[in-house]
């Protein structure tokens, strides 16, 4: 199976939210729609709440109780959105025909992502380890660098994470702590080694430090001018960027 064929199968598999909308339109029952979409009854209710919260107008109209566990139907806005998504699926098929490689589409998806986090690192899931109610998601970046994100098990399921899933790790610049390469780092923190490419001083706040990584990716950290001066760090100096697994947010493409 070619990479593009595998991607085509992934694209044509509807996200669970859209599958749930389609099944609600067909079944008229939350219980039956949840089963057909591969969701638990609670997960279906949660998904409906999220859909209605994200939309300008409710997409699903529902009634509590009754013989099927509660009736549900799409609102006029929900029907319009579902029809729009079906048109999008047809356009996706045309895009797949034009793409030469699955990396083309993954790159387009990453370029269209907008977040408030200064650092956005693309990688793939290398391992998932359970830790109580949480999961530790080990992510391999380009060039072999690795970092770990701690998220709830519910989030792991919601993002449909598994080995080799492409993810974007989001880390705010203010969460990153810098230290000289020679200093000892706490083992529980993520540690990315690189070098200072640029220091942008701000007279009214922390300095912004641009850090180059061996992978060719870039990190930004905010550090007080006094602390930076105390370390004696300058451009081209080797540094270690530290941040907690709890401070890594993960995003995936729909």
Amino acid 254: pLDDT: 58
Amino acid 122: pLDDT: 85
> Are 240 and 192 within 8 A, CB to CB?
yes
Model pLDDT for residues 143-173, shown as the tens digit of each residue: 788 999 999 999 999 899 999 999 989 999 9
User: Of 106, 130, 154, which marks where a domain is finished?
Assistant: 106
Tokens, residue 56: 């300008």
CATH of the domain at 244: 2.40.50.100
Amino acid 202: pLDDT: 86
Model pLDDT for residues 6-45, shown as the tens digit of each residue: 434 444 455 788 889 999 999 988 889 999 988 888 888 8
- Give this prediction's pTM: 0.64
Packing angle between helix 41-54 and helix 30-37, nearest 10 degrees? 100
CA-closest candidate to residue 175, choices 215, 113, 118: 118
pLDDT band per the 50, 70, 90 thresholds, residue 112: low
User: Of 106, 132, 167, which marks where a domain is finished?
Assistant: 106
Q: Does residue 213 share a domain with residue 120? A: yes
Question: Among the listed ranges 95-99, 172-176, 206-210, which one has the minimum average pLDDT value?
Answer: 95-99
CATH of the domain at 63: 1.10.10.10
CA-closest candidate to residue 175, choices 109, 124, 247, 245: 247
Count of domains for the chain: 2
Predicted confidence (pLDDT) at residue 63 exceeds the cutoff of 80? no
Q: Does residue 102 share a domain with residue 75? A: yes
The secondary structure element, H or E, covering residue 236 is none
User: Of 106, 129, 147, which marks where a domain is finished?
Assistant: 106
């Amino acid at each position: 199976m070619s990479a593009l064929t595998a991607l085509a199968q992934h694209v044509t598999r509807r996200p669970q939210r859209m599958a749930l909308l389609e099944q609600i339109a067909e079944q008229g029952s939350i219980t039956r729609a949840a089963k057909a979409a591969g969701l638990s009854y609670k997960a279906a209710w949660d998904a409906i709440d999220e859909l209605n919260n994200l939309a300008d107008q409710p997409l699903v109209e529902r009634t509590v109780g009754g013989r099927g566990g509660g009736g549900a139907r799409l609102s006029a806005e929900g029907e319009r959105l579902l029809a729009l998504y079906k048109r999008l699926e047809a356009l996706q098929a045309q895009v797949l025909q034009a793409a030469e490689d699955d990396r083309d589409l993954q790159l387009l998806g990453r370029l269209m992502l907008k977040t408030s986090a200064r650092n956005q690192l693309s990688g793939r899931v290398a391992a998932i380890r359970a830790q109580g109610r949480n999961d530790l998601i080990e992510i391999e970046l380009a060039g072999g660098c690795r970092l770990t994100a701690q998220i709830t098990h519910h989030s792991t399921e919601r993002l449909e994470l598994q080995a080799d899933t492409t993810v974007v790790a989001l880390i705010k610049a203010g969460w990153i702590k810098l230290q000289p390469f020679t200093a000892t780092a706490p083992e529980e923190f993520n540690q990315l080694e690189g070098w200072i490419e640029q220091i942008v001083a701000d007279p009214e706040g922390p300095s912004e430090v641009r850090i180059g990584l061996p992978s060719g990716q870039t990190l930004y950290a905010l550090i007080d001018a006094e602390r930076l001066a105390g370390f004696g760090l300058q451009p081209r100096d080797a540094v270690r960027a530290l941040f907690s697994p709890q401070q890594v947010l993960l995003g995936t493409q729909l």
